[in-house]
Structure 1
Amino acid sequence: MAGLVIRNFDAADETRPFEEGKGRLDLLHTAGGPVGLAVFEPGWRWSEHVKPLAGTDSCRSAHTGYVVSGRLKIVMDDGESAEVAAGDFIEVSPGHDAWVVGDEACVTLDWTGYGDYAKPA
């Protein structure tokens, strides 16, 4: 393992586009596991733009991350919900839907849940 690793999402190891051009997930594969930068464009909704790729009724990924910009509404399968915004640290259990709130893209960093996210079933 190198003593110093510097990577940039502009040179991601993998990019996964969302349905209808509503954003993308850029992944860096690291020694500690995948780290993802997701860009959710205005109008993006998991149940419309990722569900067809995932093939599940709700998002089955657990997320630990940080909201860089924009806002998301997250609704758990049991009805619990919250809105997150730039500057928020988030932990989200599997079993949820989410969508962009407003006219600004939402950008998130995630270091636990994006390894299999938006990967065709």
Structure 2
Amino acid sequence: MPGIVRKNFDSADEVRPFEDGKGELDLVNTDRGPVGRAVFEPGWQWSRHVKPLAGTDSCQAAHAGYVVSGRMKVVMDDGTEDEVGPGDFTAIEPGHDAWVLGDEPCVMLDWVGFGDYAVSA
């Protein structure tokens, strides 16, 4: 493994578009696993724009990420909810829905849950 690894999301190893043009996931692969940058456009909601790809009732990915810009609401299957915004670190367990709040895209980085995210089941 090299001492320094540099990758750029603008030259991602893989790009996964969301349904209806509501954003995309840019994925870079590293020796330590994939890292993703997702741009969720206003109006994006997991249950409308990723669920058709995932084929599950709610998002079953665990996430550990950082919100670069925009805001998102997350609602767990048990009803627990929270909002995340710029500068927030968030850890989200499997079993949730989420959607963009407001009219600004939500940009998030994730070190855990984007490897298998937005992939056809």
Q: TM-score range by the shorter chain?
A: over 0.9
Q: So what's the TM-score if we normalise by structure 2?
A: 0.99
Partner of residue 42, structure 1: 42
1:42-99 per-position Cα deviation (integer Å, ceiling 9, x unaligned): 0000000000000000000000000000000000000000011010000000000000
Across the two proteins, how many residue pairs are aligned to each other? 121
Root-mean-square deviation (Å): 0.4
Secondary structure of the structure 2 residue equivalent to 1:64: strand
Provide structure 1 residue ranges, at least 5 long, that are not aligned to the other structure: none
Aligned residue for 1:112? 112
Structure 2, gaps ≥5 residues long: none
Residue identity opposite 1:52 in structure 2: P
Q: Following the alignment from structure 1 to structure 2, what is the Cα–Cα distance between the partners of residues 53 and 114? A: 14
State, as a whole percentage, how many aligned pairs show the same letter.
70
Q: CA deviation at 1:6?
A: 0.9
1: CA distance between counterparts of 2:42 and 2:76?
A: 21
Report the residue type matching 1:45 in the other structure: Q
Q: TM-score, normalised by structure 1?
A: 0.99
Q: Does 1:93 align with 2:97?
A: no
